[in-house]
Amino acid sequence: MFGYRVPAPDEAMLISGGRRGLQGAPFRVVTGHGKFVLPIFRKTRFLTLAMCEAEVDETCVTRQGIVLTVRAVIAFKVGNDTESIVNAGQRFLSDQDQMSVLTGRIFAGHLRSIIGSMTVEEIVTERQKLATEVLETSKTEMAKIGLIVDSLQIQSIDDGETGYIAAMAAPHKAAIQRQAQIAQAQATQLSVEAEQVAARNQAEYARQTAVVKAQYSAEVERAQAEAAQAGPLAQAHAQQEVLAAQTELAQRAAELRQQQLVAEVVKPAEAEAERIRVLALADAERMKIQAEAAASYDRVALDRMLIDQLPLIVKEAAGGLAGANVNVLNGADGLGEIAAGLVGQGLTILDSVRQNLGSPQSRAADKDGDPNGRASGGPIEIQ
């Protein structure tokens, strides 16, 4: 937009004309934003806020009177606050390169002053102390012109041809060289010892290798000899193991076949024999029961028949006595005794007949008829 001005991020915009700025400054300071500026009536200038650099190459004399050439680099810039910008703008706005020149001169003066109060040893060994003192002494003076210092680096310190710094470093160099020589000698000794140890180790390794090779060769030869001697024996052992395995296999096959025969032949035969034996026992028991039943039936029938025939037997016996010449001496008692005798004989005959009929021959005769030609069950005649 016409008349609207914006400063860069590392710039300060200074607007002159119109009302004054802060603290009676002849211009107003604008940073970080834009502002509308009336043309012709207002004038705008820009002051850099970027980092600047100044180099110092100054000849200084130490407290010992030794001339030293000191080279340093100063990093500085305009302060960000309005007061610093106003102070720097009033001094360097028309020629901003003068900031580096003026800064270098300021630091050169402070270097000469501070180095004049120090010895060479202090300057060489305490460079940071020198830089800090220079910064502290120049801070107030730099602030007056609106500048701040970020860093001061002492780049080099040279004594020219006097050789003071070299002489000062000679003892240290000698000590360092001596230490270096000692370290070198120790390193050489260690290297020699390491080589000797390596040589001994190599020799020991060669010896052990030779011993191992000899042992290995002896073992190989012994193994070959044993193998040559043990060949037939090993073969015999192998054949023996084969025969043992075959024998064991045959035994197992025979056991298996025996088990099969037991399962297929013996067990069925034993079962059949047991069945026949049980059947025979059952049949014999049946026949025994039948024989006992038949015998019991025959005896009952015979007893019944004999009982039925007993009166006839007694009658026949009595009839025989009727024609006999018998003298009875004791009367009625004698007749009783005779009658009792007849009955006793009849019972004896009955018992004898029963015993004869109980034998196998009598039973066979009962089935086929009487052996004397009489039929079973007919009357018995007593002569």
Write out pLDDT tens, residues 103-157.
Answer: 999 999 999 999 989 998 888 888 888 888 999 999 888 999 999 998 899 888 8
pLDDT at residue 379 in the model: 41
Q: HSE (CB half, 13 Å, CA atoms) of 211?
A: 6
pLDDT given at position 71: 93
Q: Which domains does the chain have, with CATH numbers?
A: 1-50 (no CATH), 54-80+96-172 (3.30.479.30)
3-state secondary structure of 74: strand
Q: How many CA atoms lie less than 13 Å away from 71 in the CB half-sphere? A: 5
- State yes or no: pLDDT of 1 exceeds 80: no
73 neighbors 96 (Cβ within 8 angstroms) = no
Q: In one letter, which amino acid is 17?
A: G
Instruction: Give tens-digit pLDDT for 190-210.
Output: 888 888 898 888 888 888 888
Q: What is the DSSP string of 2-46?
A: TTEE---TTEEEEEESSS--GGG-SEEEE-SS-EE--TTT-EEEE
**Is pLDDT of 45 > 70?**
yes
- The torsion angle over the Cα atoms of residues 81, 87, 93 and 96, rounded to 10 degrees, is -80
pLDDT for 249: 79
* Confidence label for 295 from pLDDT (cuts 50, 70 and 90): low
Q: What is the pTM of this model?
A: 0.43
Cβ atoms within 10 Å, residue 121: 13
- Residue 377 pLDDT grade (very low, low, confident, very high; cuts 50, 70, 90): very low
Q: Which two tokens stand for residue 337?
A: 């005794």
* Mean pLDDT of the residues in the chain: 77
- Whether residue 14 is predicted with pLDDT greater than 70 in this model: the reply is yes
pLDDT of residue 328: 47
pLDDT at 162: 82
Output the pLDDT for position 2.
64
Q: Is residue 75 classed as helix, strand or coil in its secondary structure?
A: strand
Consecutive H or E run containing 310? helix 267-322
Tokens found for residue 12: 């300060």
Residue 75 confidence (pLDDT) above 90: yes
Closest residue by Cα to residue 85 from 153, 7, 19, 18 = 7
Q: Which of 152, 6, 153, 150 is CA-nearest to residue 80? A: 150
Residue 20 to residues 14, 39, 40, 83, Cα–Cα distance (Å): 11, 17, 17, 14
**Residue whose C-alpha is closest to residue 27's, from 75, 70, 71, 90:** 90
Q: Which of 51, 49, 50 is nearest to 89 (CA)?
A: 49
Cβ–Cβ < 8 Å for 148, 142: yes
User: What's the pLDDT at 24?
Assistant: 64
Of 61-70, 191-200, 294-303, give the lowest mean pLDDT range: 294-303
Determine which of 13-27, 195-209, 343-357 has the lowest per-residue pLDDT on average.
Answer: 343-357
CA 232-236-241 angle, to 5 degrees, is 150
pLDDT at 364: 46
Residue 33 pLDDT exceeds 60: yes
| 73 burial via Cβ count (<10 Å: 0-12, 13-18, 19+) | middle
